[in-house]
Amino acid sequence: MKILNADQIRALDKSTIQNEPIAPINLMERAALAFVDWFVDRFPNTTSTKIFCGLGNNGGDGLAIARLLLERDYPIDVYVVRYAPRESDDFMHNHRRLKLVIERIHYVELTEDIPAIRHNEVVIDAILGSGLSRPAEGIIKDTIGAINRAPATVVSVDIASGLYTDQANSQADTIIEPDYTVTFQLPKLAFVMPKNGRYVGEWHLVDIRLHKRYIDHAPTPYYYTQPKDARLLLHKRERFSNKGSFGHALLLAGSYGKIGAAVLSARACLRSGVGLLTVHAPSCGYTTLQTAVPEAMCRPDSNERMLTGQSEVDTPPPADYSTVGIGPGIGKAPETLAMLRDLLPTLTKPMVVDADALNLLSENRELLDKLPKYSILTPHPKEFERLTQTWKDDYQKLELLRNFAKKYKVVVVLKGAYSAVATPDGDIHFNSTGNPGLSTGGTGDVLTGVLTALLAQGYDPIEAAVLGVFFHGLAGDRAAEQRGPIGMTASDVVDALRWE
């Protein structure tokens, strides 16, 4: 699913009006109805609902929502925040229609006009929408502040008032902090930015049938991976397949005290469909690996405690494997750096690079150019900062991410809530699965195993990253259902992996 910017959203609105065709006021009605359907489902009975409307089309939506909720016998109070002498046409139209069916519309011009809001009330925020062009000031700012201080449940229409759709807010901005955002048709870039968590709440998409052809043709670097997008990428297994059909992966993982990382990664790799797996680990991990992951072959390093790349066991060179995954628990010993230095120039197929392998790259930047093109790098934000620089806001971080992926021709998975997969072409795919239960040691190692398995099976690296991140998050969601987000562990995520 695409994520469009504020200008494109405006153009999409126009395109729908012209091409369907539909009168603007009817499109607003459709949006209001879609909101109301969601609202009635979520709040089947409220004792009191206060709707705050601005003067643009977001406010127009709010007035239409008020009328539709009144028709459904909801107790509604409407407050129009009159901050300017100018109203949009569709606002005025809905204002006239509402006046016919409501006893009184309240106007908020001065702080004294802002009503007290009680804890059992629901507030619908329709003050400013995607047309926000500057920070909220004056009476808008005061009203937003009062809503934020109130103990009520707050639902924002389309986007929290004061929050920009696709650019950074300044820290001083006053923005609604909703419990829910009900947004029209497509997600907004603002929703996936970590700093905006409290200005978005739980967000829901409602379909208002905007012009599909416009959406299909609109150029955008931003995508949001939904279940149907991910499932389309899944390869089917042939009836006459054998284990040779699904690749042989080599996983370089573990060090003394961190053999668990190798175990988790290996188990995840096997649960993600790899044909064969060899784990190269320090020899102290040999018995553990052979016991905990009997399906994997183990190549013990000559060194007991760290990876050096040497072994008494003869195996093919790493370049002969379908792919190589490196990083989980490997540490940053000079011997391990030397191994990485020797290894990279020998590889041509895309590989997976994680954890301390990334930190070694940060500290030895000349190695970045040696990465096989289209390799998948999986930094968490701290590792990404080491690879690049600090950022002033989430939008600058996205630019750094895009530029890095382009420059080194690699696929970068910036991990976190809504993990971002950046491609060498400059696209960014945000993931929709996963939950805070994944914030626990070892879940990143699991992801490395998952991605290594997908590359070994011949998935295109971009598709592997989008798909792997999606199913890893989905396994996290299943684990959270079974164990709860607090009790779940990385092992539970491995066990919950299911590719359908």
Ligand X SMILES: NC(=O)C1=CN([C@@H]2O[C@H](COP(=O)(O)OP(=O)(O)OC[C@H]3O[C@@H](n4cnc5c(N)ncnc54)[C@H](OP(=O)(O)O)[C@@H]3O)[C@@H](O)[C@H]2O)[C@@H](O)CC1
Ligand Y SMILES: Nc1ncnc2c1ncn2[C@@H]1O[C@H](COP(=O)(O)OP(=O)(O)O)[C@@H](O)[C@H]1O
**Could you list the residues that contact ligand Y (CB under 6 A)?**
355, 380, 415-417, 419, 434-436, 438-439, 441-445, 447, 472
Cβ 141 to ligand Y shortest distance, Å: 31
Select from 71-79, 132-140, 157-165, 320-328 the region that touches K ion (CB under 5 A).
Answer: 157-165
Amino acid code (one letter) for 405:
A
C-alpha–C-alpha distance, residues 170 and 349, integer Å? 43
Cβ 418 to K ion shortest distance, Å: 21
Among K ion, ligand Y, ligand X, none, partner that 340 touches (CB below 5 to 8 angstroms by kind): none
Determine if 166 is a binding residue for ligand X (CB under 6 A): no
Site for ligand X in 81-100 (CB under 6 A): 83, 88
Question: What mask of x and - would describe binding to K ion in positions 49 to 88, judged by CB under 5 A?
Answer: ---------x------------------------------
Cβ 94 to ligand Y shortest distance, Å: 38
Determine if 108 is a binding residue for ligand X (CB under 6 A): no
Q: Which residues contact 422 (CB under 8 A, 6 or more apart)?
A: 401, 402, 404, 405, 411, 412, 413, 414, 428
Token representation of residue 270: 């096997």
Token representation of residue 398: 């996205």
Residues present in the chain in total: 500
Annotated ligand binding at 229? The verdict is: no
HSE on the CB side for 273, CA within 13 Å?
Answer: 23
Annotated ligand binding at 130? The verdict is: yes
Measured at the CA of 329, the angle between CA 281 and CA 411, to 5 degrees, comes to: 105
Site for ligand X in 196-255 (CB under 6 A): 210
Select from 110-118, 126-134, 329-337, 452-460 the region that touches ligand X (CB under 6 A).
Answer: 126-134
C-alpha–C-alpha distance, residues 101 and 47, integer Å? 19
Q: Binding ligand X by CB under 6 A: which of 5, 8, 49, 57?
A: 57
Among K ion, ligand X, ligand Y, none, partner that 441 touches (CB below 5 to 8 angstroms by kind): ligand Y
Cβ 368 to ligand Y shortest distance, Å: 19
Q: Binding K ion by CB under 5 A: which of 156, 181, 359, 423?
A: 156
Q: Binding K ion by CB under 5 A: which of 15, 16, 49, 161?
A: 161
Annotated ligand binding at 142? The verdict is: no
Select from 50-58, 74-82, 404-412, 478-486 the region that touches ligand X (CB under 6 A).
Answer: 50-58
Using CB atoms, what's the residue nearest to K ion? Answer: 161
What separation in angstroms does the CA of 343 have from each of 276, 358, 370, 377, 393?
Answer: 21, 14, 9, 16, 36
Query: Using omega within 30 degrees of 0 as the cis cutoff, is the peptide bond preceding 85 cis?
Result: no
Measured at the CA of 125, the angle between CA 123 and CA 126, to 5 degrees, comes to: 140
Cβ 420 to ligand Y shortest distance, Å: 10
Annotated ligand binding at 201? The verdict is: no
Determine if 56 is a binding residue for ligand X (CB under 6 A): yes
Q: Which residues contact 104 (CB under 8 A, 6 or more apart)?
A: none
Which residues of the shown chain bind ligand X in the complex (CB under 6 A)? 9, 12-13, 27-28, 31, 54, 56-59, 61, 83, 88, 128-136, 140, 157-158, 184, 210
Which residues of the shown chain bind K ion in the complex (CB under 5 A)? 58, 125, 129, 156-157, 161
- Binding-site positions for K(+) read 58, 125, 161
- Binding-site positions read 57-61, 125, 129-135, 158, 161, 261, 329, 380, 415-419, 444-445
- Binding-site positions for (6S)-NADPHX read 57-61, 129-135, 158, 261, 329, 380, 445
